[in-house]
């Protein structure tokens, strides 16, 4: 290839890559999203082309930790209890959202407050806080990271009740349900339907299951065809393959119990 032509191609690729970087004002065509999609279907579709390094589809790779370990009551990545017995999580919402989107985020957070000791309080001068921003895709870090930590909820796709709850639970320290230590007793991972470069998304984590049964109805559970080659099934419930998994509606009863046990709520 002629040097001038090669230089043009490289420049074009550089421009394309730059355009894909997270940007609060960036919007994409989400015409491939459907109402029947569960939360993980939507999250994975929204995160296509994201330039960030994501684990399990929506977990931002920690830059201040060598490993993602967030599962004990004394863990430094849990939000702290205040003297009133509640766990207060300071937050801000970007002004790049419209009034309706802000209301959806606040309403979702209130649904967690209603059944737990978690309280989301508007940030004033607190050092550690969550910032909800319309960056590219839907993503979060695992647990309290320290200082400002972004929960990315891109407009026109991610600002949905179930997705807001899903990403917020990550920020509170919860893994995906399908990565539990005991998952192989409840689901079969169909490795042949997963490209080798996506296999890491199904690695089990060293989780504390809090003596709570495996929850197919958890808002944190992947859908059947997550990362599947041509939408084939990657996760099959066992022994009953017909059990429904993956949803986008609300926290399950076990999700609520999981929050209350981890944070030692009295609810």
State the Cα–Cα distance between residues 33 and 163, nearest whole angstrom: 13
Q: Cite the DSSP H helix spans in the chain.
A: 3-19, 39-46, 99-113, 161-172, 253-262
State the Cα–Cα distance between residues 12 and 239, nearest whole angstrom: 51
| Among 27, 167, 195, 244, the one annotated catalytic | 167
244 is catalytic: no
Q: Is the dihedral of CA 138, 72, 80, 128 positive or negative?
A: negative
How is the beta sheet containing 118-122 ordered, strand by strand? 118-122, 87-93, 129-133, 148-153, 138-139
Contacts of 34 (CB under 8 A, 6+ apart): none
In this structure, are residues 131 and 96 in contact, taking their beta carbons and an 8 Å threshold? no
Tokens 């005991």 sit at which residue?
Answer: 182
State the Cα–Cα distance between residues 85 and 166, nearest whole angstrom: 24
| Tally of CB atoms within 10 A around 23 | 13
**Six-digit token string for 121:** 């309080």
How, if at all, do strands 129-133 and 87-93 pair?
Answer: parallel
**Six-digit token string for 143:** 């647990």
Active site residues: 167
């Amino acid at each position: 290839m002629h040097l001038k032509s090669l230089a043009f191609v490289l420049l074009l690729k550089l421009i394309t890559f730059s355009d894909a970087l997270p940007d609060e004002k960036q919007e994409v065509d989400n015409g491939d999203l459907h109402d029947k999609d569960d939360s993980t279907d939507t999250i994975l579709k929204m995160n296509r082309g994201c330039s960030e390094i994501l684990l399990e589809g929506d977990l931002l790779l920690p830059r201040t930790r060598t490993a993602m370990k967030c599962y004990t009551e004394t863990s430094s990545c849990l939000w702290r209890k205040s003297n009133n017995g509640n766990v207060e999580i300071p937050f801000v919402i970007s002004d790049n959202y419209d009034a309706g989107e802000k209301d959806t985020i606040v309403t979702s957070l209130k649904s967690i407050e209603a059944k737990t000791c978690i309280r989301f309080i508007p940030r004033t001068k607190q050092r550690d806080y969550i910032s909800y921003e319309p960056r590219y895709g839907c993503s979060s870090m695992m647990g309290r990271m320290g200082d400002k930590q972004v929960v990315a909820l891109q407009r026109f796709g991610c600002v949905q009740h179930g997705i807001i709850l899903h990403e917020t639970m990550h920020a509170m320290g919860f893994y995906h349900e399908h990565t539990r230590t005991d998952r192989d007793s409840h689901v079969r991972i169909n490795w042949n339907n997963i490209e080798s470069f996506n296999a890491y998304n199904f690695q089990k984590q060293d989780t504390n299951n809090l003596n709570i049964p495996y929850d197919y109805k958890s808002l944190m559970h992947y859908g059947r065809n997550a990362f599947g080659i041509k939408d084939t099934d990657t996760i099959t419930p066992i022994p009953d393959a017909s059990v429904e998994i993956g949803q986008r509606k609300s926290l399950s009863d076990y999700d609520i119990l999981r929050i209350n046990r981890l944070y030692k709520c009295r609810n």
